């Protein structure tokens, strides 16, 4: 029960319904809403306090301190679960799935011999129906070949592959900026040369064997990355944040 | 002693001298190099193992696993200490320091009344002499006024202010991409419209009172942000990474 209460509050904070600075519902309100006793309600609030999402306590009513939920591993890898966790509607259009021999750069990144077969996927990702990100992913053959039997537009490929036992344990993401080329511009409905926020990723097994690499390009007026750190906390909290089109600054 | 050994190894890993996959110097090599006994050498290696920087152990010789040092708070806020930690030479040219009345947007971000005085700083940051980043920082008056007495080109402003007792405890960074405007282009020596990696930051006291906000624009062919996460580790590790100009992909 306390986990359901905590994850519901996390979702409301992440999607902005509980804005930073606003009061968190009181213990008695939460108890009534969930038909729960004080124990689980307090446990849920303590968890959010430990995560830095809410402040207050010691007599003061708790308020929302931060929107940057440190994302669990799977929502950081999966566009679908990330969007769903925020109460937004994810969408995808698979434009191409192809078997190709690995070129020099791909072979190097995935630790293959040049010419070994790989599977390359080109997908347009949507948020509430708006083209938001272009995903260019290359899988090693033993993983990618499973995708030819899969309806890639039916949902999260990360969830599908994890369910088939593929070990996707460790990821490394390099964030930079890149100008939209002609293909990017046409797919995202923006001007050629417009700046895009790029995430290049390599995902590997627990023992470090690369399984996929991806080049994901986001419209920076729709998605940003948020980092929060403090002198107290050892490691930073990190989140992707969707922006409303109206909030757009570019 | 163990801290000096560990931080020396961290620096060699971060700047690429000890590449990912390569063997870490053996306990006896490290002992000789530092004139140290086994105790501190083992403590240093254990610390790096706990940080995820090196793997191996249990009979296997340790190898470098990751270059993304989860940066301590001050190197994440200070361009100077970040560059120095990597063995690179930081530089700065302060182009302007001005007292101005806060406009609506600044007042909102720093929780001031419109028209209250603020101090705005425009600095070009260099890495090994190459213009790399443009920093546009606004300080609340009580903090910023100290800078009029300070030689801003002499080093880290973060270190100077911390030394004067300014509480800079909590930071929130929003990462996106933006097209270089005419001023950016002239300062960085790039084409107008070229994509820049932008970090917008608000730094606050431990109790959440905003002290400064900044708009930092990096050449994405010179600096990227790296994130590493895994299903095991709770929070991601994060680092800024400098790129050699020759490695440039854009």
Per-residue model confidence (pLDDT) at position B56? 65
CATH number of this structure's domain B73-223: 3.40.1410.10
Which residue in the set A76, A175, A226 is minimally distant from B172, CB to CB? Answer: A226
User: Confidence class of residue A247 from pLDDT cuts 50, 70 and 90?
Assistant: very low
Per-residue model confidence (pLDDT) at position A217? 96
Residue B207 contacts A, CB cutoff 8 Å: no
pLDDT at A236 over 70: no
Query: Using one digit for the tens of pLDDT, what is the confidence trace for B179-192?
Result: 999 999 999 999 99
Per-residue model confidence (pLDDT) at position A54? 83
Tell me if domain B2-50 and domain B73-223 are identical in fold: no
Which residue, B133, B140, B143, B141, is CA-closest to B95? B133
Task: Please name the residues between 228 and 247 in chain B that touch chain A, using a CB distance below 8 Å.
Answer: 228-232, 234-238, 241
Per-residue model confidence (pLDDT) at position A68? 61
Q: Is the ipTM of this complex over 0.85?
A: no
Per-residue model confidence (pLDDT) at position B248? 34
Cα angle: A190, vertex A192, A194; to 5 degrees: 70
Q: Report how many Cβ contacts below 8 Å link chain A to chain B.
A: 140
Pick among B50, B177, B210 to test the A interface (most A CBs inside 10 A): B177
Chain A neighbors of B176, CB-CB under 8 A: 197, 220, 224-225
Chain A neighbors of B231, CB-CB under 8 A: 73, 169-170, 206
Query: Using one digit for the tens of pLDDT, what is the confidence trace for A53-89?
Result: 787 655 667 888 776 655 666 667 788 888 877 677 8
A201 CA: distance to closest CA in chain B (Å)? 9
Interface contact B70-A236, CB threshold 8 A: yes
Q: What is the mean pLDDT of residues A18-22?
A: 83
Pick among B54, B211, B229, B230 to test the A interface (most A CBs inside 10 A): B229
Q: What is the mean pLDDT of chain B?
A: 84
Which residue, A138, A71, A155, is CA-closest to A102? A138
CB A86 within 8 A of CB A68: no
Interface contact B73-A241, CB threshold 8 A: no
Chain A neighbors of B175, CB-CB under 8 A: 175, 197, 224-227
Per-residue model confidence (pLDDT) at position A226? 77
**Which backbone phi and psi does B198 adopt, to 5 degrees?**
-110, 135
pLDDT at A249 over 60: no
Chain A neighbors of B188, CB-CB under 8 A: none
Interface contact A236-B231, CB threshold 8 A: no
Query: Using one digit for the tens of pLDDT, what is the confidence trace for A106-147?
Result: 988 898 999 999 999 999 999 889 999 999 999 999 999 999
β-strand pairing of A117-127 with A130-140: antiparallel
Q: For A89-224, which CATH superfamily applies?
A: Chorismate lyase-like (3.40.1410.10)
- Of A12-26, B98-112, B159-173, B196-210, the one with minimum mean pLDDT is A12-26
SS3 labels along chain B: CHHHHHHHHHHHHHCCCCCCCCECCCHHHHHHHHCCCHHHHHHHHHHHHHCCCECCECCECCEECCCCCCCCHHHHHCHHHHHHHCCCCEEEEEEEEEEEECCHHHHHHHCCCCCCEEEEEEEEEEECCEEEEEEEEEEEHHHHHHHHHCCHHHCCHHHHHHHCCCCCCEEEEEEEEEECCHHHHHHHCCCCCCEEEEEEEEEECCCCCEEEEEEEEECCCCEEEEEEEECCCCCCEEEEEECCHHHCCC
Query: Using one digit for the tens of pLDDT, what is the confidence trace for A184-227?
Result: 999 999 999 999 999 988 898 887 789 999 999 999 888 888 77
- Domain ranges, ordered by start, for chain A: 2-50, 89-224
Q: What is the mean pLDDT of residues B93-105?
A: 94
Q: What is the mean pLDDT of chain A?
A: 84
pLDDT at A51 over 70: no
Given this structure, which CATH class describes domain B2-50?
mainly alpha
Which residue, B225, B12, B112, B229, is CA-closest to A203? B229
Residue B22 contacts A, CB cutoff 8 Å: no
Chain A neighbors of B78, CB-CB under 8 A: none
Chain A neighbors of B226, CB-CB under 8 A: 172-175
């Amino acid at each position: 029960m306390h986990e359901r209460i905590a994850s519901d509050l996390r979702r409301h904070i992440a999607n902005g319904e509980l804005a930073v600075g606003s009061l968190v519902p009181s213990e008695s309100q939460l108890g009534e809403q969930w038909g729960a006793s004080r124990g689980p309600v307090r446990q849920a609030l303590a968890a959010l306090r430990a995560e830095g999402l809410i402040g207050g306590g010691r007599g003061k009513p708790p308020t929302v301190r931060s929107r940057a939920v440190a994302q669990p591993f799977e929502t950081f890898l999966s566009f679908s679960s990330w969007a769903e966790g925020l109460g937004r509607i994810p969408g995808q259009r698979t434009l191409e799935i192809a078997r190709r021999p690995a070129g020099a750069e791909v072979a190097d990144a995935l630790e293959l011999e040049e010419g070994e077969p790989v599977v390359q996927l080109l997908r347009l990702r949507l948020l509430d129906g708006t083209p938001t990100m272009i995903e260019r992913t290359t899988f090693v053959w033993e993983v990618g070949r499973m995708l030819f039997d899969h309806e890639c537009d039916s949902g999260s490929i990360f969830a599908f592959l994890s369910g088939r036992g593929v070990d996707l344990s460790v990821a490394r993401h390099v964030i930079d900026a890149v100008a939209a080329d002609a293909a990017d511009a046409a797919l995202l409905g923006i001007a050629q040369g417009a700046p895009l926020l790029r995430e290049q990723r390599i995902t590997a097994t627990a023992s470090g064997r690369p399984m996929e690499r991806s080049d994901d390009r986001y419209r920076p007026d729709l998605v940003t990355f948020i980092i929060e750190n403090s002198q107290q906390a050892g490691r930073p909290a990190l989140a992707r944040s969707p922006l409303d089109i109206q909030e757009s600054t570019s």
